[in-house]
Structures are given as C-alpha cells and as structure tokens.
Amino acid sequence: MFISGLNFRTLISIPKSSFGRFHSANAYLVLSVDSTLASDKALELDAALGCCTVQYREVQGQETEKFLSYFKPCIIPVEGKYSPQTGFPGETYHVTLLMCKGDHAVRVKEVPFLRSSLNHDDVFVLDTASKVFLFAGCNSGPQEKAKALEVVECIKDNKHVGRCQVATIEDGKFSGDSDPGEFWSFFGGYAPIPKFSSSTAQEQALTTCAKLYRGNLHLTGTSSLIKDMLEKNKCYMLDSDSEVFVWLGRNTSLTERKTSISSSEDFLRKEGRSTSTSLVLLTEGLENARFRSFFDKWP
C-alpha cells in the first residue's frame, strides 16, 4: 500500500510508520495494489491492443530470460526501499556478494555474505567500498564469466561512478599481481571451497505429466493432449509443475479471462505452490513453442 499527502498541490510520500494517521486539514491519496489487480490491468491493456500479446508474470529471482534480455547488462537487486529524499536506507557502505548465472541473459542474485555461498560452478561478484572482485568457479564457462564481467563493469560505472578497482580471481588465484589475501580477508581468511555444489540440483525442474484444466479448473486431460481439446469460447489452464499456462480462447470475454487468471492463482495457493511459479498468459493463435510442446498433435 502507498499513501501520499497533498501539500501545496504536490504529492508527498507518507512513511509506513505514519500509516493510519490522517490530519484533518489535509487530503490524502491511498493506493493499494496487489498481484491480482496487476493481472487485471495487464488483461485490460492486452484487450486495448487487440489481444495480440503474450503475458508473463515476473517474480523477483525467477525472471524469464526474455524479461532479463530487456535490461543490459542485467537486473541488480537492491535490498531496502528507495526514497527520493534519502536515497537507499543505510549510510554505511553495504558489502554484497552476488551470484551471476546465465550465458545469454545473466541472472544476478544477492546471496548471504558467507564463504559457504561460494561454489565451483558459478561466478560471483563481491562488491566492496573500494574494489569489485569477480570470483570465477573452475566449472563455470567462458561465456558466463564474460557476462559476469559486464556486471562488474556496470557496478563500477554506476554504483562507484568509475572510481574503484576491479580484480578477478580464478578459484583462489588472482590474475596479474593482485593479492588473493585481500579477497579472502572479507571472508575471515582463506579456506577450501567444498567440491559439492547444491545449486544445480536445487534448480533442476521436475519433469511431470502436464494436466489440462477447463474453466473453473475442471480436469480435462493428463496425457495425449491435442489442440482440438481447446475450444475458442473457453479458457484453460495447463499445469506442468514448473510453470503454469493460461490459454485464452479468442471468443472469451474480458471478464472470463480475469476470472480464469484469478482461479489459476487461487489454484497455486491452495496447492501450496511457490509464489515464484511461472505463470504465462497465451491468447489463442499466439501459443509459444513451450506450450505447444505439451501437445501430441499441434498443426
């Protein structure tokens, strides 16, 4: 929820600590937005554009590669909330450890500032007040390292305004004449990194049989799906565990589409599924290759 007060025709943001305190001599603007409203507005915009878009629900940390590709070189998550008056919270410089994954669209995630967060499979960026370090695991690929270096340059140019040093470490060895002790000192000194990495195992998607639901989530089919099951005047939900697709027939109304999306979100909540589960909205005729791959027969 966001609350703004009017002061001489200017909107002033009200801090959360003052929510509920309204002065009788002032007027206030209260805005409450949730994911359901965002979905509704996306559908209304799609309708205004002639129902010609594919919509993706993006959740922090689980963004699709397509979404990430719009931001060069990457999206860098920042803890806290930004204020035009005070900037980001905290006056002291916050040392952060970032994990970089991806050969094309790089995904950057802040991980706990601990030695145990490092592994041999990924590339990491340690951002300190005076220097930005790039740690490349021995099992990481050259393209992934190159993408992580773009992240380092972005941090240097934007966060440090170009006034910081950059150092690269290859599993414990700095390139050039840099001192590895400087890097490891931030972790309390050098210690071997465990050979086992759980990051890959955690991110492997489970392969299960896709299930097709119609309307108010009536199970239609679980195997041998064909395109003819999809009717123009109905909405469907295809659940593949790792992602959920909502298929919108061309002859369905805006109200029916909103109801279908709301039902899909309720389904995920009732099933105890993660809020980061990918949700893709597809209008008939605009199905992507991933959606079509679940059907045995697709013209």
- Does residue 74 form part of some domain? no
Q: What is the pLDDT, as a whole number, of residue 184?
A: 86
Which of 148, 173, 203 is the C-terminal boundary of a domain? 203
- Does residue 152 form part of some domain? yes
Q: Quick one: 129 exposed, middle or buried, by C-beta within 10 A (0-12, 13-18, 19+)?
A: exposed
Q: What is the pLDDT, as a whole number, of residue 75?
A: 79
Q: What is the pLDDT, as a whole number, of residue 122?
A: 93
Phi, psi of 129 (to 5 degrees): -65, -35
* pTM for this prediction: 0.60
Indicate whether 218 and 256 sit together in one domain.
yes
Indicate whether 196 and 169 sit together in one domain.
yes
- Selection from 191, 76, 55, 197 nearest residue 125 by Cα: 76
Q: What is the pLDDT, as a whole number, of residue 28?
A: 61
Indicate whether 158 and 228 sit together in one domain.
no
- Does residue 91 form part of some domain? no
Q: What residues make up the domain containing 7?
A: 2-31
Indicate whether 211 and 199 sit together in one domain.
no
Which of 169, 203, 237 is the C-terminal boundary of a domain? 203
Q: Quick one: 255 exposed, middle or buried, by C-beta within 10 A (0-12, 13-18, 19+)?
A: exposed
Split into its structural domains, the chain has a count of 3
Indicate whether 178 and 276 sit together in one domain.
no
Indicate whether 213 and 193 sit together in one domain.
no
- Does residue 89 form part of some domain? no
- Does residue 24 form part of some domain? yes
Domain with residue 52: its CATH number is 3.40.20.10
Which of 147, 179, 203 is the C-terminal boundary of a domain? 203
Bridge partners (DSSP) of residue 34 are none
- Does residue 87 form part of some domain? no
Q: What is the pLDDT, as a whole number, of residue 199?
A: 47
- Does residue 182 form part of some domain? yes
Q: What is the pLDDT, as a whole number, of residue 169?
A: 87
Bridge partners (DSSP) of residue 28 are 5
Q: What is the pLDDT, as a whole number, of residue 106?
A: 87
What whole-number distance in Å separates Cα of residue 222 and Cα of residue 227?
A: 13
Indicate whether 283 and 250 sit together in one domain.
yes
Bridge partners (DSSP) of residue 173 are 170
Indicate whether 189 and 108 sit together in one domain.
yes
Q: What is the pLDDT, as a whole number, of residue 88?
A: 46
* Per-residue model confidence as pLDDT tens for the chain (299 residues): 454 545 556 667 777 656 555 555 666 665 555 566 667 777 787 778 777 777 877 777 777 777 888 778 887 776 654 444 444 444 456 889 999 988 888 889 889 999 999 999 999 999 998 999 999 988 889 999 999 999 999 999 888 888 899 998 887 565 445 667 788 889 988 888 877 554 444 444 444 578 999 988 888 877 788 999 999 999 999 998 888 999 999 999 999 988 988 899 889 889 888 877 888 999 999 998 889 999 987 87
- Does residue 77 form part of some domain? no
